[in-house]
A and B are shown apart, each in its own frame.
Chain A
């Protein structure tokens, strides 16, 4: 089945130690997104890629970076994780940039990041 896969499901990292979260998709969608979801809160968009074009949300901290080496893969890098970065990180894809047809996203299962 075509899907969005996030690895690992659970990640524990040390305070200040760089960490990378991975997302892959078999849908051949043009757009990939990273969301941060803290406990009991709505998902918050960090950034997205439309093909190779990177788009950062204005309030995304500089500590968060992303890479998309090809259509299928997208990575979230947290350069110096703080305790406040502990959250569920959700990857999502969409066929296109403009929701003319009202397509929803396809979400991965998420990576739960713990910072110790």
Chain B
């Protein structure tokens, strides 16, 4: 069965410092991978997605993620965070065909400190 693991429930980081949010997936088949951001009392917004091709994916707000098949990881990175990046970040997986369902991780709360 597919699963998505976000090992860090909370990540505090100082403003302008780099950050990495970790995501690992388990699947016996290929998957699409996504990162969503959720600001307080808001819905989820797509940051970026990996479908195929280049393993380095660039998204909105300066975020990027790297797909690593051998390590079954899809970690999210930003070289310099802002206070406004404080939010919950969800990693999600989806099978490429025949299904519409996301498998979400449990989320990582990023708190950017001044």
Are B51 and A102 in touch, CB under 8 angstroms? yes
Within 8 A of B (CB), among A101-116: 101-102, 104-105, 107-110, 112
Q: Collect the chain B residues with CB atoms within 8 Å of residue A110's CB.
A: 41-43
A27 at the interface (CB under 8 A from B): no
Within 8 A of A (CB), among B1-48: 9, 32, 34, 36, 41-46
Measured between C-beta atoms, what is the minimum distance from B8 to chain A in Å? 13
Are A109 and B107 in touch, CB under 8 angstroms? no
Q: Indicate whether A40 sits within 8 Å of B107 (C-beta atoms), given known contacts A99-B32, A110-B41, A110-B42.
A: yes
Q: Which of B94, B99, B102 has the most CB of A within 10 A?
A: B102
Give which listed residue, B41, B102, B106, contacts A112 with CB less than 8 A: B41
Which of A14-22, A42-50, A63-71, A77-85 contacts its partner? A42-50
Q: Indicate whether A9 sits within 8 Å of B94 (C-beta atoms), given known contacts A41-B106, A48-B100, A102-B32.
A: no
Residues of A in contact with B, size category: 20 to 34
Question: How many positions in chain B have a CB within 8 Å of any CB in the partner chain?
Answer: 25
Classify the secondary structure of B's interface with A.
loop
Q: Indicate whether A104 sits within 8 Å of B99 (C-beta atoms), given known contacts A42-B104, A90-B43.
A: no
Within 8 A of A (CB), among B34-68: 34, 36, 41-46, 49, 51
A75 at the interface (CB under 8 A from B): no
Are B41 and A9 in touch, CB under 8 angstroms? yes
Per the bound structure, the CA–CA distance linking A92 and B43 in Å amounts to 9
The 6 closest A-B pairs by CB, nearest first: A107-B43, A42-B104, A102-B51, A104-B46, A107-B44, A102-B32
Could you list some 6 contacts between A and B, CB below 8 A?
A6-B43, A42-B106, A90-B43, A94-B100, A109-B42, A112-B41
